[in-house]
Amino acid sequence: MPYVTVKMLAGRTEEQKKALAEKVTDAVSETTGAPKEAIVVFIEEMTKNHYAVAGKRMSDQE
């Protein structure tokens, strides 16, 4: 059973997250042959103060 975790900054709509889960499921199924019913997708949203690039938090760059 494939498990996929997508980590991203918060702010996407429910429709975007639904489409993401569907497309990730399709891609994993197509590439691994796993049935869609066995694929689990976790979407973890982070706030900008919990995410840093090059040592600088995203929340500090606004």
- pTM as predicted: 0.85
Q: 26 — phi, psi (to 5°)?
A: -60, -45
Looking at the 3D structure of the chain, how many domains does it have? 1
Q: How many residues does the chain have?
A: 62
Catalytic residue among 2, 17, 21, 34: 2
3-class SS string, 1-19? CCEEEEEEECCCCHHHHHH
Q: Report how far residue 32's alpha carbon sits from residue 42's, in angstroms, rounded to the nearest whole number.
A: 18
Among this protein's residues, is 35 annotated catalytic? no
For the stretch 44-58, pLDDT in tens is: 999 999 989 999 998
Domain that holds residue 50: 3-61
Q: What is the CATH number of the domain that holds 45?
A: 3.30.429.10
For the stretch 13-45, pLDDT in tens is: 999 999 999 999 999 999 999 999 999 999 999
